[in-house]
Amino acid sequence: MTRATTELDAASRRVLRALDREPRATVGWLAQSLGLARGTVQARLAQLFSPGVLRSPSVAVRPESLGYPIRVFCTAEVDQARFDEAVAGLHEIPEILECVATSGDTDLLFQLVAQDADHLYEARQRVLRSPGIRRTSTTIVLRELLPYRTHQLLDDE
């Protein structure tokens, strides 16, 4: 897999920095504020979405604003013969925000949200009932100290 960062030219990095500051910016605003042609901005945006440089165009809604104030990170050990089944089962649990395969002592790391302690218990029980899940471990997030960020990676080198 090629590292996407090596493919980003200066104009693409400028567009990304501007979007990081103003996520709702229009193509016209980006073109004007960056001193780039509108077509250049549109072409850069198409490139950034096609290889997966930008995350999915989902709105970044904070789960607590939707009534899910509890956030946890869970690890899971999976029966390797049922790995795909396990991931498919976890996909059906709406409280799971993301899931990644990991190396080390566990196979999966996922982020899960809940409305309260009872809801967390129930959601974890659904995880444990997913096919192929052998065991899990859960860590409750007490406070977010550094939010997800990438702006510091966009600085010119």
Percent of the chain with pLDDT over 90: 64
Q: Which tokens go with 78?
A: 């999976």
Three-state secondary-structure class, residue 33: helix
Fold observed for domain 63-140? Alpha-Beta Plaits (3.30.70)
Is this structure's pTM higher than 0.85? no
Q: How far lies 150's CA from each of 19, 32, 55, 74, 155, in Å?
A: 11, 24, 11, 23, 10
Q: pLDDT, tens digit, for every residue of 102-120?
A: 999 999 999 999 999 999 9
Rama region for 38: left / alpha / beta (φ>0; ψ in -120 to 50; rest): alpha
pLDDT above 70 covers a percentage of the chain that reads: 90
User: Domain residues of the chain, as ranges?
Assistant: 8-49, 63-140
Domain 8-49: state its class.
Answer: mainly alpha
Chain centroid to CA 89: 19
Domains 8-49 and 63-140 equal at CATH topology level: no
Q: Which of 13-27, 43-57, 65-79, 104-118 has the lowest mean pLDDT?
A: 43-57
Note the pLDDT of residue 2: 41
Query: Closest by alpha carbon to 114, among 145, 72, 75, 73?
Result: 72
Q: Within 10 Å of residue 108's Cβ, how many Cβ atoms?
A: 20
